[in-house]
Amino acid sequence: MLRLYKIIIGICFFVFLMWLMGPRYVNEIIDIHGLNKVQAMEKLSKDGVVNKYTLEFLLKATNKHIEYGEYRFRGFVWPFGVFDKITKGKFLTYKITIPEGFDMYEIASRLQKYGICSKNDFLKYATDKAFIKSLGLDQDTMEGYLFPDTYNFYKYENPKYIIEYMYLAFKENMKKHRLNPTKEQMVIASIVEKEAKFDKDKPMVASVIYNRLKKNMSLQMDSSVIYALKTLNLWNGTMTRKDIFVKSPYNTYMNHTLPPTPICNPGVHSIEAAINPAHTDYLYFVDDKDGHLIFNKSLKNHQKAVEALR
């Protein structure tokens, strides 16, 4: 009988030990951002990830603290594994693709869509001259220098870190491709990026921009008008005829100079085109229904091309 009691006690102790320290099979994404310690432990315990008493013991024994954010737990997880993850801040990451030609407003919207950071906070720091200067960049905004690429970001990430990381990617890619663009070339590259769908057209679009500037002609790029409307919070997704009269230094219909900053974040091919444009006499271009560009030297031939496409 005594032996039976020992076996029962042993089984009970084993069950209790497994309840405290044993692995659990889970497939959960758990967000503990904004919670306090007690709330976080309760949530992890309630969702079946770890026993809250075990976690509290480990935290007290090691004098470590929870890093609050979003975590993924998948498969068999042990208390020590959960403890390691949440005290080291091994947050769930999201793969965010920033396409070539996205401007900072589009980047901010995409980051907010995935909960990475708020749109307003991102734009606040992307236009903060003191912060931009601290990065070693002599610009009024970060536009043009947020390199288009695929990134892995956490939810609730500090927008300052995101901006700094994207600017570092820009510098690394310029070094990789042996490019050293001037401010003017970055502005031109951004227009090229917006106006040319295909890489083969980009050097010629750049040549049109340079040729028009030399002749003191207004560039008359629709992409610059759209950007002007965005800076004024007037862009509704559709450009109309009256929009070309909007008062803005970015409006290349109303001004005979380049915009004061880039109007988007160009890719490497557009930057290369701005640095090494094609040598042409072209002053005009229009795109067909597939995005291919038709170039012309004279306004007369350009107008014919436009009529033909209609």
> Looking at residue 114, which CATH number applies to its domain?
3.30.1490
Q: What SS3 state is found at 128?
A: coil
Residues 6 or more apart whose Cβ sits within 8 Å of residue 11? none
User: Are 163 and 187 found together in one domain?
Assistant: no
Q: Are residues 223 and 161 in the same domain?
A: no
**Alpha-carbon separation of residue 51 from 21, 48, 110, 227 (angstroms):** 8, 8, 37, 53
Q: Evaluate whether 117 touches 69 at the Cβ level (below 8 Å).
A: no
**Is 3 within a domain?**
no
Give residue 191's pLDDT.
Answer: 98
Looking at the fold, whether 196 and 294 belong to one and the same domain comes out as: yes
Residue with tokens 């919670």: 35
How many angstroms separate the Cα of 10 from the Cα of each of 7, 18, 23, 68? 5, 12, 19, 38
Answer whether residue 132 is part of any domain: yes
Question: Does some domain include residue 8?
Answer: no
pLDDT in the model for residue 234: 94
pLDDT of amino acid 3: 57
Distances (CA, A) of 137 to 114, 167, 225, 239, 245: 28, 9, 25, 32, 32
Per-residue pLDDT of the chain (310 residues; tens, 9 = 90+): 545 454 555 444 334 444 444 467 888 899 999 999 999 999 999 888 898 888 899 999 999 999 999 999 999 888 998 999 999 999 999 999 999 999 999 999 999 999 999 999 999 999 999 999 999 999 999 999 999 999 999 999 999 999 999 999 999 999 999 999 999 999 999 999 999 999 999 999 999 999 999 999 999 999 999 999 999 999 999 999 999 999 999 999 999 999 999 999 999 999 999 999 999 999 999 998 889 999 999 999 999 888 888 7
Strands 24-31 and 150-154: unpaired
Q: Are residues 169 and 59 in the same domain?
A: no
**Domain residue limits at 289:** 183-309
Burial 152-189, CB ≥16 within 10 A → b, else e? ebbbbbebbebbbebbebbeebbeeeebebeeebbbbb
Q: Which of 70, 88, 106 is the last residue of a domain?
A: 88
- Number of domains making up the chain: 3
Q: Are residues 134 and 244 in the same domain?
A: no
Q: Which domain-ending residue is among 88, 111, 126?
A: 88
The contacts found for 132-140 with CB under 8 angstroms, 24 or more apart, are: 135/163, 135/164, 135/167, 137/167, 139/183, 139/261, 140/260, 140/261
Q: What is the pLDDT of residue 19?
A: 43
61 and 105 belong to one structural domain? no
Instruction: Verify that 189 and 163 share a domain, yes or no.
Output: no
Residue 305 lies in a domain: yes
